[in-house]
């Protein structure tokens, strides 16, 4: 890694000032894709905000309500400005999942509709297929390449060009995988739109460390979770909806705050015509203003600086993973996804292997990391498509498993399939330092030349149901 000493000094100073609790506790935090850490200044600013005035439910015109409405409007404008999204409505939600539920519930799926999505998607996106299928629509997954977990371009291009006769077509993909860190080209937005698709771009894992300019890329629906960008507050996200397509979302019910008028003796109602149509009930008016503070904090650091920092640290991780080997030459870590920093974010997916190349159970690795005060994450990370690709879980095997029982869990599935499921994920962010990475590498190196008594199968290369090698 070519070290940028200026950046290193800046971020080390930031760590000491805003995240000193990490070093006081001897804590190595490597779960930024799960949730960014909040800087101390955001707590201080929001505490002062809450203490200085009286704020009320915004669904009124009394002084306390008006003040809350003004603060919410200011935060909404900062979101729009941050993503250069003047052609979008910003709908505040509880998180990115709640934002995606709006799309699933309100998109006009029908027997003339289709939902196309990449195999690399979070379950909150995968779940939209239930709405589509319930309304008679078709659901199609486009596969990934096993080598680097990128989109299989030839197949996806064919999918985008095939369904011209369908009326309502929704295509969904992540700008960055929440599991492997793989960056998927944003040019797929325009390619899909050129073929008549509406586009849902999941930016939840991308936005924390990369600039997203919606005036340039122009997807139709973009879910965001703010705690993944700056840590505080949790419990607030948004759905950015392009104004030109806003009318396409058909809300199937109404609630307080979403209507202009409703009646009981005649069951009529008039929905609001902007973002408020989808903000059910009372929004989190005490915490939404804190979003503005968080975006100001990120803007002051500079998203370009954060992105460069993550790339530099990613290069350090990747170069060292390649050198971590047992005495017999076997790698200690099996890395999935891109092996260079150019086509990835700061999220790394791996399995630990013993001296014979056999996998350790991810949960066992996490338990050992916990003892070393290292916070990482294990499992399938709400993204089954990635795990099925990495561990050669075929469609027929999955079908047999799901149709053969009414309920199941991780242990039941692994016992049935006779192979490992899941992996270890570490992810870095703006508070990560080189020392954090060195501590993780020291931890990984402690497995050198050790033997795993719990034998697991190693995946083999496989093909898709279409017979195409991925």
Which residue of the set 41, 90, 380, 382 is catalytic?
382
225: left (phi over 0), alpha (psi -120 to 50) or beta: beta
Cα 462 off chain centre by: 27
Phi, psi of 194 (to 5 degrees): -65, -20
Rg, Å, the chain Cα set: 23
What secondary structure does DSSP assign to 247-280, as a single string? GG---SS--TTSEEEE-SSS--EEE-SSGGGG--
Who's near 142: CB < 8 A, 6+ residues apart? 116, 117, 118, 119, 151, 152, 155, 156, 159
Between CA 317 and CA 130 the distance in angstroms is 39
Q: What is the dihedral of CA 229, 231, 234, 240, to 10 degrees?
A: -10
CA-closest candidate to residue 383, choices 106, 134, 138, 34 = 34
382 in catalytic set: yes
Q: What angle do CA 80, 97, 247 make, to 5 degrees?
A: 55
Who's near 250: CB < 8 A, 6+ residues apart? 106, 108
CA-closest candidate to residue 211, choices 345, 77, 76, 38 = 345
- End-to-end CA distance of the chain: give it in Å, rounded: 31
Active site amino acids:
382
């Amino acid at each position: 890694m070519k070290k940028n000493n200026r950046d290193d000094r800046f971020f080390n100073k930031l760590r000491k000032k805003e995240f000193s609790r990490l070093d006081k506790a001897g804590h190595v935090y490597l779960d930024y894709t799960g949730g960014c850490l909040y800087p101390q200044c955001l707590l201080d600013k929001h505490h002062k905000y809450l203490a200085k005035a009286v704020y009320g439910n915004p669904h009124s015109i009394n002084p306390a309500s008006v003040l809350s409405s003004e603060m919410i409007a200011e935060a909404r404008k900062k979101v729009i400005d941050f993503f250069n999204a003047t052609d979008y409505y910003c709908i505040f939600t509880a998180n990115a999942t709640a934002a995606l539920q709006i799309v699933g519930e309100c998109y006009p799926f029908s027997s003339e509709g289709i939902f196309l999505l990449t195999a690399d998607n979070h379950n909150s996106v995968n779940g939209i297929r239930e709405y589509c299928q319930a309304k008679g629509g078709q659901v199609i997954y486009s596969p990934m390449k096993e080598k680097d977990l990128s989109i299989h371009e030839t197949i996806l291009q064919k999918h985008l060009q095939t369904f011209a006769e369908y009326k309502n077509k929704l295509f969904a993909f992540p700008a960055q995988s929440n599991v492997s860190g793989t960056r998927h080209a944003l040019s797929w937005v325009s390619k899909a739109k050129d073929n008549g698709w509406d586009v849902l771009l999941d930016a939840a894992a991308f936005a924390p460390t990369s600039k997203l300019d919606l005036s340039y890329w122009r997807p139709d629906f973009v879910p965001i979770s703010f705690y993944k960008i700056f840590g505080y507050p949790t419990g607030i996200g948004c759905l950015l909806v392009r104004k030109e397509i806003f009318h396409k979302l058909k809300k199937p019910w109404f609630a307080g705050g979403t209507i202009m008028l409703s009646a009981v003796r005649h069951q009529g109602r008039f929905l609001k015509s902007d973002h408020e149509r989808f903000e059910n009930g009372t929004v989190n008016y005490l915490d939404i203003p804190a979003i503005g503070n968080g975006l100001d904090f990120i803007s002051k650091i500079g998203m370009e600086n954060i992105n460069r920092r993550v790339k530099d640290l990613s290069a350090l991780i990747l170069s060292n993973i390649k050198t971590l080997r047992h005495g017999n030459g076997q790698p200690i870590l099996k890395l999935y996804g891109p092996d260079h920093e150019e086509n990835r974010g700061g999220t790394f997916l791996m399995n630990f292997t013993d001296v014979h190349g056999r996998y350790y159970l991810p949960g066992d690795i996490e338990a050992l990391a916990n003892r070393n005060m290292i916070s990482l994450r294990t499992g399938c990370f709400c993204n089954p498509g990635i795990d099925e690709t990495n561990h050669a879980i075929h469609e027929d095997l999955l079908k047999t498993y799901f149709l053969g029982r009414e309920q199941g869990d991780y242990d039941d599935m692994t016992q049935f399939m006779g192979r490992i499921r899941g992996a270890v994920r570490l992810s870095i962010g703006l508070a990560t330092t080189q020392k954090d990475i060195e501590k993780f590498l020291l931890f990984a190196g402690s497995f050198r030349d050790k033997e795993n008594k719990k034998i697991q199968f190693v995946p083999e290369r496989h093909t898709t149901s279409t017979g195409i090698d991925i």
